[in-house]
Amino acid sequence: MTDEATEAPQAAPAHDAGRMERIVNLAKRRGLVFQSSEIYGGLSSCWDYGPVGVELKRNVKDAWWREMVWSRGDIVGLDCSILMHPRVWEASGHVAGFTDPLVDCKKCKVRFRADHLAEARCGLTPTRRAGDCGGELTEARQFNLMFKTFMGPVEEDANVVFMRPETAQGMFVNFANVLDTARRKLPFGIAQTGKSFRNEITPGNFLFRTREFEQMEMEFFVKPGEDMKWYEYWKQERYEWYLRLGIKPENLRLREHASDELAHYAKGCADVEYRFPFGWSELEGIANRADFDLKQHTQFSGKDLSYFDEEARERYVPYVIEPAAGADRATLAFLVDAYDEDEVEGETRAVLRLHPRLAPVKAAVFPLMRKAGQPEKAHEILTRLRPHFPVQYDQAGSIGRRYRRQDEIGTPWGVTVDHQTMEDGTVTVRDRDKTTQERIHESELLPELLRRIAGA
Ligand code: ATP
């Protein structure tokens, strides 16, 4: 099933290709990300998050939900089904227009996106450009990116349904439901995280472009006329979210779309971009979609999706500002940004300098020796920490080696039980980034680590 041969390799600046490869290797070696269905040769463009990676991605989504829903009074959450009424995708424009232009190289049989030819590489000689093998490129034809399936046992056209290509439509079609039940006044937002599917022509660059991925989207409904103010607000908020979680400012930028890049209904659109080893690329788009979506669904469903503004005593269709992010792309950006190599005690170490909120494991507990009651003491400490956050226990190998294993998965603190612990109840806490150690009493350990995670 793997269709690697038909996919165009993505260009990567030579000096950074090695770095990306080392990150992908570390991800596999330490249980962050595995190729999907690996024992069957892999299914291209699909990835599985391992025991460590699942915690990282979950932390990314939790940080988004905390910021977008819990910490504000004006946004509520939603969890919609992936399969929706086919008319939804007619109204949204996806049936007619969710297409990419596709060209084939007649010689090397590789498929390219006609609008990405500049970055595409020849299938026979990846150091060269598309078509450089002498093969003729076909005329571009439009290819719809939606996955189709059938609802019920009969595979006929009347039963076709689509795997959603975005989560956003769930928020629009539930606009009236939320308005009625959550007793909301404008401005307010609806947020959702969940899987989306796109039959991408050229997936690649690890988690960056896949055919099954998770989105984190929010639709913020506002009064027409106040939309540009909120558009500016959300651009700034979303840009700063990545910085607050530790992305280096020199690797992040906001890029406003030129007017010829905008959808016909959009009043503005900007991307938060990250400097990946393969170049600046979109992490999230923030768009002022005006009243396009609610009007389309009003027209196609025949249901009124307008809003009565009690204060202004007028009825109108709200405008919407949409910050649309990808959970997998964000996870990849946090991973790439955190990856570092330095020298500790004469050895090169790989370390993930992840923000403590995002770190998959918050603390590791080690007995210095496998005797003198130290393993038992370490387990006692572990049992106390376990209900609060993910922790690991390790007694194998030298203490340096154990620290290094935790550095590779970004564990911020290493707690060691040693001879002195047995005498005065203090443990050493080693900091992942500074590699320094301090002694604190074991009774202080949990509150201290909780304080550090919350305050970081
Ligand atoms: P691109 O131009 O990279 O195809 P897009 O502009 O089509 O992305 P949107 O439709 O705005 O993307 O989707 C919002 C977010 O969903 C993107 O910013 C990205 O983080 C994520 N996303 C979209 N497509 C994919 C994909 N194929 N794989 C992983 N994440 C994706």
* 178: number of Cβ within 10 Å: 19
- Phi and psi at residue 144, to the nearest 5°: -80, 130
- Residue 255 sits at the vertex; the CA angle it makes with 97 and 236, to the nearest 5 degrees, is 110
User: Is the CB of 271 inside a 6 Å radius of any atom of ligand 1?
Assistant: no
The DSSP letter of residue 120 is: B
Half-sphere exposure of 272 (CA within 13 A, CB side): 25
Closest CA to 354 of 402, 400, 409, 392: 409
User: Is the CB of 194 inside a 6 Å radius of any atom of ligand 1?
Assistant: no
Structure token digits, residue 430? 């080693």
- Residue 332 sits at the vertex; the CA angle it makes with 350 and 335, to the nearest 5 degrees, is 25
User: Is the CB of 326 inside a 6 Å radius of any atom of ligand 1?
Assistant: yes
Which residue's alpha carbon is at the smallest distance from atom 8 of ligand 1?
282
For a pocket test of ligand 1, which of 282, 322, 334 has the largest count of ligand atoms closer than 8 A to its C-beta? 282
User: Is the CB of 209 inside a 6 Å radius of any atom of ligand 1?
Assistant: yes
pLDDT at 261: 86
| Residue labelled with tokens 């039940």 | 181
pLDDT at 6: 40
- Phi and psi at residue 371, to the nearest 5°: -155, -170
Give residue 68's region: left, alpha or beta (phi > 0; psi -120 to 50): alpha
Three-state secondary structure call for residue 285: strand
**Closest ligand 1 atom to Cα of 324:** 14
**Closest ligand 1 atom to Cα of 210:** 28
* CA 326–ligand 1 middle distance (angstroms): 6
pLDDT at 5: 34
End-to-end CA distance of the chain: 44
Cα–Cα distance, 397 to 116 (Å, whole number): 49
pTM: 0.91
Residues in the chain: 456
Q: At what angle do helices 327-338 and 14-29 cross, to 10 degrees?
A: 100
Structure token digits, residue 256? 């406003």
Cα–Cα distance, 456 to 452 (Å, whole number): 6
| Residue labelled with tokens 């937002």 | 189
pLDDT at 152: 87
Structure token digits, residue 222? 């506002």
Which residue's alpha carbon is at the smallest distance from atom 26 of ligand 1?
209
Structure token digits, residue 82? 């992936």
What structural domains and CATH numbers belong to the chain? 31-83+163-335 (3.30.930.10), 361-455 (3.40.50.800)
Note whether 11 and 204 are within 8 A (CB).
no
User: Is the CB of 10 inside a 6 Å radius of any atom of ligand 1?
Assistant: no
Residue 187 preceded by cis peptide, ω within 30: yes
Residues forming a β-bridge with 67: none
Three-state secondary structure call for residue 217: strand
* 275: number of Cβ within 10 Å: 18
Residues of the chain with pLDDT under 50: 1-14
pLDDT at 14: 44
pLDDT at 341: 92
